[in-house]
Structures are given as C-alpha cells and as structure tokens.
A and B are shown apart, each in its own frame.
Chain A
C-alpha cells in the first residue's frame, strides 16, 4: 500500500449493514419501491443467478446485500426463522411512509403509535424477513417532559 492510499474502502466510514436475503434481486426492487432505495454500485451475480453483491443507498445510508450462500454460512431470515435486528428509518411523514411500504408488499408488524418520547413510529416486516422501524418526530419535548412521561408510562405498566 502506498503512503497516499487511504486505508478505508471507497465507502462511508459508517456502520454498513450487510443483508443476506433469499431472492436478493426481488429485495432490491422492493427496497427501491418501499423505501426509495437507489442502487449505487454494479450488481454481481454468479453462474447460478445468485446475487453475490449489491449496494443500495436509503436516504444517506448505505446497505449491502447478497443472496444466500449457505456454503459460506450466509443465510437469510427465512432460513434462520426470523431476524434479530431492526433497522430504524427516520422519515418526514411516517404515516405516508408506512402506507407506501405496505403498498409495496411490506407487512405492518407493529402498528403506528405515538410514543411518549415524542415520536410516532411503526414497524414494517419486509417480504424477506427483515424488520424496519419507521419513525417521525411529532412533538418537540423538553428533557423534563420526557422524564415525566416515562415515569407515567412506568406507573401505568405497574398498575
């Protein structure tokens, strides 16, 4: 490596989720439709038609994805039987975004709800088994108000 070479790949130095998906090509179409994703690198496919690598941007974030490659231990939520993680998307109008994502084929797995901390959010499970929490800030709250409401929530839970 020459001294001028950056040790970072040509990608943001942020956490980039790498999603393994059964039918990644369909998932790319879904993420484009549901979340306005843009494909930002060439798509690499093997002789069997399996997507080996693809890159998308959703808002300012990058995600990478590939089809299942069980021979190297890369398996999807459908094979595992669920996803242990949820991606959070902050959007300007969560009701519109949820409507959009469900129209594209997502399932509303947790209903839209105003949260005590001032957000309105709901969870979409996509057709490939990944979960996405969509959220919009609907109230500007002071720290004191959030704490007061949190205590109130806690009291409600205990009674």
Chain B
C-alpha cells in the first residue's frame, strides 16, 4: 500500500460515542452538505440515507418519484457505537472500482474522537476523473480536506443538538 492509498481524518466531538454514532446514521441528512460538492446526483439535493446494519446501503435519493437513487456503498462492518465500515463508490467509478470508508468512534476526554479512513485509492488510475487531476500527496490532501469539511459539519450538528443554546443561536 502506498502512502497515498488512504487518508484518515479525525475530529474531537463534544458528545458521547452513542450520540456521535447516531449523528452519522439517522441524522446524516440533516447536516451532510448539499450541492455538487457533497451530493452525488444532480440536482444535488434530495436525501442521504444510511440503512443501519451489515448489508445496509448508503443511498442518495436525489428524486424518489423519478427513481433517481444512487447507491454509494454497502455496510461491511457495523459495531455501534464503536465503528462501522462501508464500500464507497462515486458516480464516475467503473463497475469494478470501489473504495472503502471506515469510521471509528473512540472515547476522548468527555467526548468522542471520530476518525474516518477512506482507503483503496491506489486502485484508481492517476487519470481517473475522481482525482480531479491530482495525484499523490495533493490528491490525499484534497480528499482529506473534503472529509474535514464533512466532519466539521457533523461536529457542529452534534454539539448543537447536545448543547442547545437558550436563544437558539450557535455558541462560538
């Protein structure tokens, strides 16, 4: 495995692992970004659904009525509230191409360290469209920042629901 096959992105969230795990399951759609940067099928709205349990799918339901649904991947590991792993494909992947996303939820102080490892990028050729022209370190950092933005959104959502401010605003 090369240095750039996988990227791990970690963030400390000020909620207990059980809640952190739930934020990444039933509450996924409330905080996961919208638009072409975060959703899979045009018009990049719709709903993101993770079916819990082994074999459950991560779905982007872009338009249920029109049957526009993209299957991102399927759950391979499901150990609430400690970890889960799923296969991960983008719409521009060939049928035999897949990566893997593993998420761990470890107690850290009074909260939880959430770590996402996205691996399997070595299997994609350098000219694959998912690389956006980037290879090696630059590609890993691009993916890493993307997951960093995803995790930051998750953290904000989790901490807001755990520690709601009396005025409804967000504490700094």
Chain A interface (Cβ < 8 Å from any Cβ of B):
39, 41-48, 50, 52-53, 69, 71-72
Decide if B7 touches A45 in the complex (CB within 8 Å): yes
Is B101 interfacial (CB-CB < 8 Å)?
no
B147 neighbours in A (Cβ, 8 Å): 42, 44
Please report whether the interface of chain B is mostly helix, strand, loop or mixed according to DSSP. mixed
On whether the beta carbons of A52 and B148 are closer than 8 Å, the reply is: no
Number of A-B contacts defined by CB within 8 Å:
59
The residue that B148 contacts in the complex, of A42, A69, A72, with Cβ under 8 A, is A42
Query: Across the interface, do B144 and A47 meet the contact criterion of CB distance under 8 Å?
Result: no
A52-B141, A52-B144, A53-B141 known; A43+B5 contact, CB < 8 A: no
A44 touches B1 (CB 8 A): no
State A46–B138 Cα separation when bound (angstroms): 11
- B137 adjacent to A45 (CB under 8 Å): no
Question: In the complex, what distance in Å separates the CA atom of A71 from the CA atom of B8?
Answer: 20
Task: Give the residues in chain A near B151, CB-CB below 8 Å.
Answer: 42
B152 touches A46 (CB 8 A): no
Question: Which residue on B lies nearest to A49, using beta carbons?
Answer: B8
B145 touches A45 (CB 8 A): no
Q: Residues of A contacting B6 with CB < 8 Å?
A: 46-47
Looking across the interface, which residue of chain B has its beta carbon closest to that of A52?
A: B141
- Interface pair A44/B137, CB less than 8 Å apart: no
Say yes or no for B12: interface residue by CB 8 A criterion: yes
Find out whether the CB atom of B3 lies under 8 angstroms from the CB atom of A47: yes
* A42-B10, A52-B141, A52-B144 known; A47-B5 Cβ under 8 A: yes
Tell me the minimal C-beta distance from B115 to chain A in angstroms.
Answer: 9
* B11 part of interface (Cβ distance < 8 Å): yes
Contacts of B8 in A (CB 8 A): 44-46
A39 surroundings in chain B (CB, below 8 A): 12
In the complex, the answer to whether A53 meets B144 with C-beta atoms within 8 Å is yes
Q: List 10 A-B contacts (CB under 8 A).
A: A41-B11, A41-B148, A44-B145, A44-B148, A45-B7, A46-B137, A47-B1, A52-B144, A69-B137, A71-B137
Partner of B9, one of A43, A48, A69, A72: A43
Q: Given the complex, which residues of B lie within 8 Å of A43, measured CB to CB?
A: 9-11
Contact call B12/A72, Cβ cutoff below 8 A: no
Since A42-B148, A44-B140, A46-B140 are in contact, a sample of 16 more A-B pairs with Cβ atoms closer than 8 Å, ordered by chain A residue number, is A39-B12, A41-B148, A42-B11, A42-B144, A44-B8, A45-B10, A45-B144, A46-B3, A46-B8, A47-B1, A47-B119, A52-B137, A53-B141, A53-B145, A69-B137, A71-B137
Q: Chain A residues with Cβ under 8 A from B2's Cβ? A: 47
CB A14 to nearest CB in B, in angstroms, measures: 18
Establish whether residues A46 and B4, one from each chain, have CB atoms under 8 Å apart when the complex forms: yes
Give the docked Cα–Cα distance between A155 and B114 (Å). 60
How far apart sit A72 and B139, CA to CA, in the bound complex (Å)? 13
Contact with A along B6-27 (1 / 0, CB 8 A): 1111111000000000000000
